[in-house]
Amino acid sequence: MRCMLMRQKVLNEGMRALALFTGHQLNLSVAHPDKSTRASADDLVQLLTPVVKAFLTDEGYNNANWGQQVLGGSGFTQDWPLEQLVFNSL
């Protein structure tokens, strides 16, 4: 169980860092005074945006599923909103 919780924690922290990095690059692509820096940041944003969207969605679902398993699996956690998150996102 501890391994599942640590997996969730590590992935959540990594996903947040990736999203923040992409957001920072987006800010650079709009507001940096140097034209070449804006262009390279924009290229990176265009590359990372679909990756961030897909990876965060898939791993967010997987983390919700792992959390459900930590609480006892399907059917045993009907009192928790986590089960509703897992099954409503299918």
Question: pLDDT tens-digit profile of 42-54?
Answer: 999 999 999 999 9
Within 32-80, where are the H helices?
A: 35-70
Torsion angle of alpha carbons 84, 87, 89, 90, nearest 10°? -170
Question: Domains of the chain: which residue ranges?
Answer: 2-88
20-78: pLDDT as tens digits: 999 999 999 999 999 999 999 999 999 999 999 999 999 998 998 888 888 776 665 56
Phi, psi of 83 (to 5 degrees): -65, -35
Q: Which residues make Cβ contacts (< 8 Å) with residue 6, sequence separation at least 6?
A: none
DSSP conformation class of 33: S
Q: How far apart are CA 75 and CA 66, in angstroms?
A: 14
